[in-house]
Structure formats: structure tokens, C-alpha cells
Amino acid sequence: MALLEVKGLEVEFPLGRKTLQALHGVDFSLDRGERLGIVGESGAGKSVAAFSILNLISRPGRISEGEVLFDGTDLTRLDDAAMREIRGNKISMIFQDPMMTLNPVLTIGTQMIECLQAHREISKEDARKISIDKLKEVMIPSAENRMESYPHELSGGMRQRVVIAIALLTDPSIIIADEPTTALDVTIQAEIMVLMLALCKNNNVGLILITHDLAVVSQVTERIMVMYAGRVVEQGPTREVIQNPGHPYTRGLIKALPQENIPGARLNQIPGSMPSLDAIPAGCAFNPRCEFVDLECHNAIPPLCGEGEQKIACIHRDRIPRFNLSEKGI
């Protein structure tokens, strides 16, 4: 059985008399040491999906249906005390903006030691040793001195390294990273991605990487899940999905990348934008923006299916022309 199994997850947010549903029956799983990428535009529900694993949906939002099985226990049924044993301990999280995640008035060392002592019976001295080791592991130069630094004394890349070190402190089996490099420069992004990939491989840690950057996902993950308007529209091995996308939305995302277009020509774009939760179109939610839309698409919500490992939620999946990634400007 997979380490993490999410089944039929539904999340809703009551809003006055209405209830907005952010996730509609999302299923996915993650094996030990596996790396999964969740892709989609803002508002696709990728962060909600990841947050609900750790039961971090802020009230009045709630998980209304479905289960999150971690090592056989359903995390949605745990009380707060039991959840704290998992959260930040067995499953850690890395957020987008390291300046918002770190406490600005505490030194790096204090924050790391505090985190360890919250989860383990451990002396301050031992906690300090582990913290320094972890800082070394994420390649922070002169780790001992950095323990005394405050977050503002570090650059963006260094801060994100510290956040990764904190996530690794308790030797978690899964790390959830929500857009970990979006706030960073391209060069630093490459360094952080190399680092995260190496750490996950060496420690056999599972990774759920949430991003809207398909290029990053294609380099780091083994499996990919594309979300649109609270549903999974495509899922499969990263190479297959990237090289040979089956859903018109995935296709559009890949074709919109500047590197996939002829320099100087108009970029392929997906017209329109993600619908808001209270105005999701009937039938396939993507139909107003889809280039292959026809009458059938307005009738029923297409299920996620397919013969091989690559699953696609589109009724026309057999008729959509596939393209080869190596040819530019298709």
C-alpha cells in the first residue's frame, strides 16, 4: 500500500448562504520516496489539496468528504493533539515565501531547537547538534555561526535553505513544498531544486511539489497531477505527461511556455482565466477555454480514465492530436 493515499477528497468553504466547493473528489497517492508534482493555475485547488493532507484548511472551510490515509491512519479523523504528532514531524511543509515562514524576531538556531523540542524529548545541546548538521546538509556555509543569525540577515536563497533544513529536522517521510522557488531568482531556483532533489533521494523522503511551473516539475518529479477548477484533469508519469499531454489544458499549459514557441512569434495562449468557485461552468469545467470543445462537453463531467498509467479527464481524449515536445511551435 502507498504511504499516503488520498481518496475522494472534497473540501468546501461556506460563504453566507452559499457553499463553495474547492475540491471535487480528488484522488492521489504517494509511495515512500516518490516525488509527485501538482500543477495548475492559481485557483485550481492545488494548495487546498496539499493543505488538506495536513488538515490545515482554515475554518469555516472543511473537508466534507473523503479520507487521507497516511500509513493506514485516516488523518481527517485525528484530533488536534494526534495531528500535531504528524504535522511538522512525519509530514513537513515548505511554503512559498521564506520571509513569511520564519519568525523575524528569533534567531535561526532558536527556531530550529524549538521545533525539535516540540516533537521530541531532547536536550537543548543535542537539538543544537542536529540543527547544525541539518544546516550543513542544505549547504549553508559556516552553519555554527548561522545559528545565531536572524532571518533578515540572510538572502532569499539562504532563507529558503533554512526553511528546508527546518522541514528536514524531524526526518519526515513526506515533504510538501508549496511553490518553494517562485519567490527566488532563476539561478537560485536551480540551486534549491538540485538540493531538494538530492535530499529527497538520499533520505528516501517523499515529495509533493506544488507549482505552476511545468519546467520545474518536469525536472524534479516522477509523477505529475494537473488540476483545474478543483478536479484532477490529468495524472501520470511525468515524462509521459510532459512529452505527450492528453488533456487540452495540460497541452495549453505546455504550449504557452516561451521556450516551446518560436522566438518572436505570438505565444500560444489559453484564452480566458480559471473560473471562480461560484461560477464553474456546467459539464467539463474547462470547456469555455478549450479549443476542442463541442456540445457534448457541456453535458457531463468527464471522469479521469485511461488504459495506461496516464489518466485523462476528457471525453475527447482519443481525438485530441498529440504533439511531440521536441518540435518547436506546434
Partner 1 sequence: MTGTFPLVDIKNVEKRFGGSGGFLSTRQPIVSALNNVTLSVQKGNAFCLVGESGCGKSTLARTVMGLHPPSRGEIHYDGKRIDDLSQRDRQVYTRKMQMIFQNPYASLNPRMTVRQTLEEPLKIHRPGMSKLEVRDKVEEVMRSVGNDPAWGDRYPHEFSGGQRQRISIARALMLDPEFIVADEPISALDVSIQAQVLNVMMDAQEDRDLTYLFITHDLSVVEHFGSHVAVMYLGTVCELSETKSLFAAPRHPYTRALLSAIPKMDAKGVDHLKMTGEVPTAMDLPTGCVFHPRCPVARERCKREVPELKENGDTKTACFAVEEAWI
DSSP-derived 3-state class of residue 286? coil
What single letter denotes the amino acid at residue 201? K
CB under 8 A: which stretch of 59-67, 117-125, 188-196, 298-306 binds partner 1? 188-196
Contact (Cβ atoms closer than 8 angstroms) between residue 177 and residue 209: yes
Determine, following the binding rule CB under 8 A, whether residue 136 of this chain makes contact with partner 1.
Answer: no
CB under 8 A: which stretch of 89-97, 117-125, 149-157, 299-307 binds partner 1? 149-157
Determine, following the binding rule CB under 8 A, whether residue 59 of this chain makes contact with partner 1.
Answer: no
DSSP-derived 3-state class of residue 220? helix
Give rounded-to-5 percent helix, strand, coil for the chain: 35, 20, 40
CB under 8 A: which stretch of 58-66, 162-170, 213-221, 292-300 binds partner 1? 213-221
N residues, the chain: 330
HSE-up of residue 103 (Cα within 13 Å, Cβ side): 11
Determine, following the binding rule CB under 8 A, whether residue 135 of this chain makes contact with partner 1.
Answer: no
**In this structure, what DSSP letter does residue 185 have?**
-
Shortest approach of partner 1 to residue 53 CB, angstroms? Answer: 23
Sketch the per residue contact string, 271 through 300, with partner 1: x for CB under 8 A, - otherwise: x-xx--------------------------
Contact (Cβ atoms closer than 8 angstroms) between residue 134 and residue 112: yes
Determine, following the binding rule CB under 8 A, whether residue 202 of this chain makes contact with partner 1.
Answer: no
Burial class (CB in 10 A: 0-12, 13-18, 19+), 149: middle
Contact (Cβ atoms closer than 8 angstroms) between residue 241 and residue 234: yes
Sketch the per residue contact string, 26 through 45, with partner 1: x for CB under 8 A, - otherwise: ---------------xx---
Out of 155, 282, 298, 299, name the contact with partner 1 by CB under 8 A.
155
CB under 8 A: which stretch of 54-62, 88-96, 119-127, 253-261 binds partner 1? 253-261
Determine, following the binding rule CB under 8 A, whether residue 163 of this chain makes contact with partner 1.
Answer: no
Out of 113, 127, 199, 216, name the contact with partner 1 by CB under 8 A.
216
Q: How far apart are CA 311 and CA 199, in angstroms?
A: 29
Whether residue 172 has a cis bond before it, omega within 30° of 0? no
Query: Interface with partner 1 by CB under 8 A: which residues?
Result: 41-42, 155-158, 185-190, 193-194, 197, 212-216, 218-220, 242-243, 252-254, 256-261, 263-264, 266-271, 273-274, 325-326
